[in-house]
Structure 1
């Protein structure tokens, strides 16, 4: 460790020089919390994350409160973030009603959330994969017409708790469909954390062969089997420059019990900085933010880097 609390930087040839971290802690990280987090605490969390240098902080979700009670305060939260550039604050929308709510508040980046597998599409959206795509079509078209950027999340890209390993061609088909509908960017979700580096690189190569540019792909890894950083490195080797992560390793998925925490943003930043890859993130400020949120939630963070730096202090 250097005197500044950062790893020694040693560049590895062939890797990107800069990565954009898509921070999901305030949405994906908090959505599964049983105790409702006060709206003011969420707003401060997002402000702290932005102040730490994270360029993209996913703010909330405009799903029906019945399905995700933790995010029922989207209309109250978003106005509290008015001092931040809305381009930095993407929000999840499930359908046209959700889009209406988001646009009314001035959201400029949205995301839809699909599945590569039929089982999870049924569990999460009560639709088949193709029915979900049909539901997204008008959402994406209207968003694009309004000049709003659209991200397409795709869950279960590598494995599904009901169906097992997901064939690469199956994931590629749905990814291609989302792009054809107009999504600007895809986020490949390893929702239950079963991916390994070879699987990651095989899927990315297959997507390229199907005409999906690497520049339009982001990755979203869960650390169920301790593979999130290894999978991230494999993605970096392929040229991926957008990586999802959650401050303090918060999060999971309310519809997949085997989905444990997201890749911790601190662990990701530690590795990227050690590789000499720029992120724009102040690790000290990020760590302080995650410690603060862990205290607000009343439990320790699973982030190894956060624990190491906190213990050092």
Structure 2
């Protein structure tokens, strides 16, 4: 026993996290993403294997994903900012509403049923899948919206990102490109959203899931020192090294494939995840 947890259950969790990190690194390298769009569905399946109840599984996957992307989002933002590619005016306009949206999403996570997390994931990932598979982009005109529009869009990005476990890149890119920004400018500026979302989001999920350890004493994956609230500490520690190790393998594979094939592949991946979570919504309802 280790902190009251059987060694065999701990071993299954540790090996599973290492394997999940390796798989996520390959997928992230192939598809050029490193956020929750890949991490959350992989963690969701793993937590199911090790016996995390369905009512906790999605929130634990989302909270852990937000913690995992903290270091990568900081590094990404620093790199883009050093090259002068970040539009700081947009980032400043979004900063407060995004953080407030994350806080609101984290508060919702404490009380929301699993269906809410899955529905948000299906909506956002489904929209991204549609864009990738059809090759179409939204077009709202040129020039970013005014103050009210920036506040509203920032709040929505914060709420949806915190409930989906992503760094905001997909949503930020979607909005900026819809207003005529180039993909390079959108990606660079969205890297700053990852910092604004992941840090308060992870803290919020620690708060949201804090009471669950006492409610589910037999579930090792949510007990300290393996987790703090809805953030799996063992997941955070084991996921990052293996995903960083395998990401270059995926990147090399990506360079061997045409851009359109990568878009179609990622679109199909997201579509499969959407169908998986939709099946859960149909079969489990709010459970």
TM-score (norm 2): 0.24
RCO higher in structure (CA 8 A, sep ≥6):
2
Query: Which structure has the highest strand share of the two?
Result: 1
Query: Which structure has the highest helix share of the two?
Result: 2
TM-score (norm 1): 0.23
